[in-house]
Amino acid sequence: MEFLVRAENRLPVETPDEERNRLKKGERARADELRAAGILKRLWRVPGRNATIGLYEVGDATELHDVLASLPMFPWMDISVEAVATHPQEQ
């Protein structure tokens, strides 16, 4: 199944730079792992916001939840998910 995931980072502004940098590096590394596994298909940033839109492909919603929960920034993310299906014109 494919899912469109919108995520906005709500990391508190008072987070120390060292911790912020550690989390950013962890996010990058985890995204690279998810790409290599074929789970994270595309990732876009939202201009003017600390937000992303990602296209994920997993077996079901439970697997998606586990994937998203594995992101280092997960505790500070506002996330919305939409399941998507192939349009007949795309086939």
| pLDDT tens string 31-65 | 999 999 999 999 999 999 999 999 999 999 999 99
Domain ranges, ordered by start, for the chain:
2-86
pTM above 0.75, yes or no: yes
pLDDT tier at 17, thresholds 50, 70, 90: very high
Alpha carbon distance 50, 33 (integer Å) = 22
Render pLDDT for 60-70 as a digit per residue (tens, 0 to 9): 999 999 999 99
CATH class of the domain defined by 2-86? alpha beta
Cα(20)–Cα(67) distance, integer angstroms: 21
Judged by phi (left if over 0) then psi (alpha if -120 to 50, else beta), residue 38 lies in: left
